[in-house]
């Protein structure tokens, strides 16, 4: 799986310099997407093609070959085999490139090319629309900004260093115009992705910007590593089963000392069922897992697995981590696999503790899985104060068959499950 860092922002914010340093530091392929638009512009200038000559531009796009190579001396850009690294930074190209990049056909072709360049690789890509359009699911999104005058000053000094003859006022004017054009494009406009980190470099040095982004990249890599660990499916072994039984027995004794557990009803000894329960306390799932002869694979929010002990228990009891703020396809697949294997799946349709009390809308996940797998739902009503030595009632209901519901009736199916659960939470005998 590839790792993608998107660095977006207006001209002159130091994106190029920062990207180059970060690419080296984190061994990422550096793709300067602006260079691809500059190549098209250069080719148009070489062939004397004007902005309004769309047919000729399309012809150029059909035959153009753009390659970006990361060498020891830096990034090299090739246009139809020729090294144009310097030529694409000329005043003529710079003045025209923003308008060229606004042409819909040019954008589609370049975005396609940029995505292909990144395919299967770990990359850092700088541009205007990377985090919003080219790679909206990039792992890290940075929006680099700086005051207009500061950006113009930087670009002016950069040009002077490269021997490009353009005065400060012209640079300022060009950046101003490009800003406006880049922000108002029909497709791929420069805008802030909602999940991007904004860094304003007006008052801080390049090294500081690099440090800040480096920390964001390191944190993200650690998060991905942890997520991989959490989501790793661990095989059932004799040792694991043995350990589970010992822990289950021990915790069940402790639980019974702490609370007077009253269990009504039970789960069939065979077959796949979805155990749906109300959620009033962190300890309610334990009452279902510990006092069931069969293993219950409980779905639990991913965050819990960040705790070492819970991570380990989760592994022993084959709990299924789930991301609550999005459709977690990976978790869904694991749930369906559990049901396919004829096992028990435990789930809190409320999605959060005391969801019923808070009048929250129950989640449709359990109903979806019941309809998809044809497994029956066993409603469970738990109630009790969970104060030491108090009574905890665990009331199992009759299995509910939802096979005659369609996927369009998820709300109705969820409602049915919830109604049964509510009735069961009131039972006290
Ligand atoms: O980053 P740069 O100055 O080399 O970019 C040149 C132009 O290309 C810039 O004015 C806007 C355009 N561009 C774009 O529209 N989308 C990108 N992802 C990158 C650059």
What are the percentages of helix, strand and coil residues in the chain, rounded to 5?
50, 20, 35
Find the 215 Cα to ligand 1 centroid distance in Å. 26
* C-alpha to C-alpha distance for 394 and 265, rounded to whole angstroms: 8
97 touches ligand 1 (CB under 6 Å): yes
Continuous segment of H or E residues that includes residue 218: helix 206-231
9 touches ligand 1 (CB under 6 Å): no
Q: What's the pLDDT tens digit per position in 25-54?
A: 999 999 999 999 999 999 999 999 999 999
* C-alpha to C-alpha distance for 221 and 234, rounded to whole angstroms: 22
Q: What's the pLDDT tens digit per position in 355-373?
A: 667 677 889 999 999 999 9
Supply the pLDDT for residue 355.
67
Find the 86 Cα to ligand 1 centroid distance in Å. 16
Confirm whether pTM is higher than 0.85: no
Are the beta carbons of 260 and 394 closer than 8 angstroms?
A: no
Q: Which residues of the chain have pLDDT under 50?
A: none
Supply the pLDDT for residue 159.
86
Residue 391 contacts by C-beta under 8 Å, 6 or more apart in sequence? 259, 260, 261, 262, 384
Tokens 């977006």 sit on residue? 8
* C-alpha to C-alpha distance for 239 and 254, rounded to whole angstroms: 23
129 touches ligand 1 (CB under 6 Å): yes
98 touches ligand 1 (CB under 6 Å): yes
Q: Which domains does the chain have, with CATH numbers?
A: 4-230 (3.40.50.300), 235-424 (no CATH)
Beta strands in 123-213 (DSSP E): 123-127, 140-145, 197-200
> Helix 365-373 and helix 410-425: axis angle, to 10°?
110
Residue nearest to atom 9 of ligand 1 (CA): 98
Supply the pLDDT for residue 72.
82
Residue nearest to atom 18 of ligand 1 (CA): 127
Continuous segment of H or E residues that includes residue 320: strand 320-322
The tokens of 66 are what? 């753009």
3-state secondary structure of 160: helix
* C-alpha to C-alpha distance for 337 and 234, rounded to whole angstroms: 14
The candidate with the shortest Cα–Cα distance to 380, out of 366, 361, 360, is: 366
36 touches ligand 1 (CB under 6 Å): no
Q: How many residues does the chain have?
A: 429
CA 8 vs. chain centroid, Å, equals 18
């Amino acid at each position: 799986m590839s790792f993608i860092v998107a660095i977006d922002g207006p001209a002159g914010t130091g994106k190029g310099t920062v990207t180059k340093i970060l690419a080296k530091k984190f061994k990422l392929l550096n793709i300067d997407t602006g260079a691809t638009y500059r190549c098209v512009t250069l080719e148009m200038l070489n062939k004397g093609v004007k902005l309004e000559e769309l047919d000729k531009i399309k012809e150029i796009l059909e035959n153009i070959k753009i390659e970006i190579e990361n060498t020891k001396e830096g990034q090299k850009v090739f246009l139809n085999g020729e090294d144009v690294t310097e030529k694409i930074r000329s005043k003529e190209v710079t003045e025209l490139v923003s308008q060229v990049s606004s042409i819909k056909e040019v954008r589609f072709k370049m975005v396609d090319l940029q995505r292909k360049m990144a395919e299967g690789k770990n990359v850092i890509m700088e541009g205007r629309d990377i985090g919003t359009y080219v790679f909206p699911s990039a792992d890290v999104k940075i929006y680099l900004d700086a005051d207009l005058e500061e950006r113009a000053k930087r670009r002016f000094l950069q040009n002077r260093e490269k021997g490009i003859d353009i005065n400060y006022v012209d640079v300022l004017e060009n950046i101003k115009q490009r800003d406006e054009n880049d922000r108002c494009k029909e497709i791929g406009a420069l805008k802030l992705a909602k999940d991007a980190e904004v860094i304003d470099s007006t008052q801080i040095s390049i090294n500081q910007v690099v440090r800040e982004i480096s920390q964001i990249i390191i944190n993200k890599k650690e998060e991905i590593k942890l997520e991989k660990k959490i989501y790793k499916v661990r095989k059932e072994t004799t040792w694991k089963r043995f350990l589970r039984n010992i822990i289950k027995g021990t915790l069940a004794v402790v639980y019974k000392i702490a609370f007077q557990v009253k269990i009504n009803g039970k789960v069939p000894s065979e077959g796949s069922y979805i155990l749906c329960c109300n959620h009033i306390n962190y300890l309610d799932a334990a009452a279902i897992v510990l006092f069931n002869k069969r293993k219950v694979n409980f779905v639990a929010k991913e965050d819990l697995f960040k705790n070492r002990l819970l991570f380990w228990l989760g592994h022993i009891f084959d709990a299924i981590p789930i991301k609550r703020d999005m459709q977690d396809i990976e978790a869904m697949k694991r749930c369906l696999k559990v049901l396919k294997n004829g096992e028990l799946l435990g789930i809190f349709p409320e999605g959060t503790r005391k969801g019923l009390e808070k009048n929250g809308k129950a989640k449709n996940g359990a109903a979806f899985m019941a309809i998809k797998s044809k497994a029956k739902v066993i409603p469970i009503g738990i109630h009790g104060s969970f104060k030491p030595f108090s009574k905890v009632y665990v009331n199992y209901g009759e299995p509910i068959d939802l096979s005659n519901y369609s996927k369009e009736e998820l709300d109705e199916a969820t409602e049915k499950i919830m109604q049964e659960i509510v009735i069961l939470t009131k039972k006290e005998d």
